[in-house]
Amino acid sequence: MKEMNTINVEALEDVIGGAKRTVHTGTTQNAAVRVKPGVSSKQIGSLPNGTKVNATGAFKRAGGRNWAQINAPVKGWIKASIIGYAR
């Protein structure tokens, strides 16, 4: 798994489409990024609070939660509320 201690914010400028959002877990825990929407889906990474992400605009509901797809700095699915979308 790739280490994600620092994020090159300028790299997000090259990502086409979507919306730049910021990770806020409300705790000291990192946000899990998953292959598919749902807590039972394989975790492919984690992002600390304050990480800038690019949300693609794709949303799905799984396991009673809303999920948003991101494509930078890693491609996967994250709980929508963690990046500021309604629950």
Q: Looking at residue 7, what is its pLDDT?
A: 43
What token pair was written down for 21?
A: 């959002």
Write down the domain spans for the chain: 9-82
Decide if 59 contacts 24 (C-beta within 8 A): no
Report how far Cα 23 is from the mean position of its chain's Cα atoms. 7
Q: Looking at residue 22, what is its pLDDT?
A: 95
pLDDT in tens, 61-72: 999 999 999 999
Distance CA 70, CA 73 (A): 8
pTM of the model: 0.80
- Topology of domain 9-82 in CATH is SH3 type barrels. (2.30.30)
For 76, phi then psi, to 5°, come to: 170, -160
pLDDT in tens, 29-83: 999 999 999 999 999 999 999 999 999 989 999 999 999 999 999 999 999 999 9
Other Cβ atoms less than 10 A from the Cβ of 21: the count is 19
